[in-house]
Amino acid sequence: MGYVARDGERLRVDGLERWGLFLAVVDATVSSASDGGRAFSRQNLSDYWAPLGLETIEQLAGRSAAATVNAAAVRWIALGPARLVATIERGQILSKTEAARFASRKWPEFGGLLSRTVASRAGEDVAFTVADARRAIALLQRCVEAADGGDR
């Protein structure tokens, strides 16, 4: 764990390694976003999340859809981009649970997966499969499209 400074704020940075990727986790403790926060969210979806989705698709290639995957990785991919879209559209930085509700209303076809990610975050023993990971990546891609002005 370490800290970085951004616009005068101190942000905690942790790392996760999932599917062979090192993912940097930044925890910003703010609840509303300025135009700069919205711009950062768009850029983050484009520069970090879109490539991560493509890399993860490649890493899952050839794996059985029924094979199990790490729950934290599925939660990360399903909820992180949804939080950024909420920041862009609502000007608020939502909790991951609130981001799941936001994304479920925006894209109801992902409601089941998002409900399971929230249950998993709350401590329930929820198993996720490669099929779930691919579904989370599809949601990630919808979030990237929304940030680019499509998929409203």
- Residue 28 confidence class, pLDDT cut points 50, 70, 90: very low
Q: Render pLDDT for 67-97 as a digit per residue (tens, 0 to 9).
A: 999 999 999 999 999 999 999 999 888 999 9
How confident is the model at residue 73, as a pLDDT?
96
Q: Render pLDDT for 102-111 as a digit per residue (tens, 0 to 9).
A: 999 999 999 9
How confident is the model at residue 18, as a pLDDT?
44
How confident is the model at residue 23, as a pLDDT?
44
Cβ distance 79 to 100 under 8 Å? yes
For the chain, state the CA radius of gyration. 15
- Distance, in Å, from the CA atom of 138 to the CA atom of 87, rounded to the nearest integer, reads 20
How confident is the model at residue 35, as a pLDDT?
77
Looking at residue 92, the DSSP 8-state letter turns out to be B
φ, ψ dihedrals at 23, nearest 5°: -110, 125
CA 42 to chain centre: 13
Which comes out higher in pLDDT, residue 38 or 21? 38
How confident is the model at residue 151, as a pLDDT?
56
Which of 80, 75, 76 is closest to 126 using CA atoms?
75
How confident is the model at residue 19, as a pLDDT?
42
Q: Which residue has the tokens 């998993």?
A: 120
Burial (CB count within 10 angstroms: exposed 0-12, middle 13-18, buried 19+), residue 24: exposed
How confident is the model at residue 37, as a pLDDT?
84
Is this model's pTM higher than 0.75 or not? yes
